[in-house]
Chains A and B, each alone.
Chain A
Amino acid sequence: MSTAIKSLARHQHWLALLVVGVVLLLVPFVAALGGQAWVRIANFAILYVFLALGLNIVVGYAGLLDLGYVAFYAVGAYTYALLASPHFAIHLPFWVILPLGAGLACVFGVLLGAPTLKLRGDYLAIVTLGFGEIIRIFMNNLNAPVNITNGAQGITLIDPIRIGGFSLSQSSTFLGVTLSGPQKYYFLLVGLAILVIVINIRLQDSRIGRAWQAIREDEVAAKACGINTRNIKLLAFAMGASFGGIAGGVFSAMQGFVSPESFSLMESITILAMVVLGGMGHIPGVILGAVLLTGLPEALRYGIEPLQKMVFGRLLIDPESLRMLVFGLALVLVMRFRPAGLWPSPQRRRELSESTD
Chain B
Amino acid sequence: MLEVNGLRVSYGGIQAVRGISFHVDEGEMVALIGANGAGKSSTLRALARLVNPVGGNVRYRGKELLSLPAHQLVAEGIALVPEGRGIFPRMTTSENLRMGAFSRNDKQAVERDLEHVFSLFPRLAERAQQVAGTLSGGEQQMLAIGRALMSQPKLMLLDEPSMGLAPIMVQKIFEVIRTVASQGMTILLIEQNAKLALEVSQRGYVMESGTISLTEESAKLLADPKVRAAYLGE
Contacts and interface: CB of A to CB of B under 8 A. Distances in A.
A226 B86 contact: no
Interface stretch (A234-242, A312-320, A348-356): A348-356
Given A213-B88, A351-B90, A226 B151 contact: yes
A8 B29 CA distance: 58
Contact of B103 (A220, A225, A354, A355): A225
Contacts of A217: 88-91
Contacts of B80: 224
Interface residues of B, number: 31
Contacts, number: 79
Given A351-B131, A351-B133, A355-B134, A226 B102 contact: yes
A210 interface: yes
A214 B81 CA distance: 15
Given A226-B74, A229-B71, A221 B151 contact: no
Contact of A225 (B90, B100, B134): B100
Contacts of B88: 213-214, 217-218, 221
Given A218-B86, A355-B134, A226 B71 contact: yes
Contact of A220 (B50, B74, B75, B134): B50
Contacts of A228: 69, 71
A107 interface: no
A192 interface: no
Interface string A317-351: 00000000000000000000000000000011011
A203 interface: no
B87 interface: yes
A214 B90 contact: no
B142 to A, nearest CB: 15
A217 B133 CA distance: 10
Contacts of A224: 48, 70, 73-74, 79-82, 86, 148
Contacts of A214: 88, 91, 99, 102
A227 B147 CA distance: 14
B72 interface: yes
B71 A221 contact: no
Interface of B: 48-50, 69-75, 79-82, 86-91, 99-100, 102-103, 131, 133-134, 144, 147-148, 151
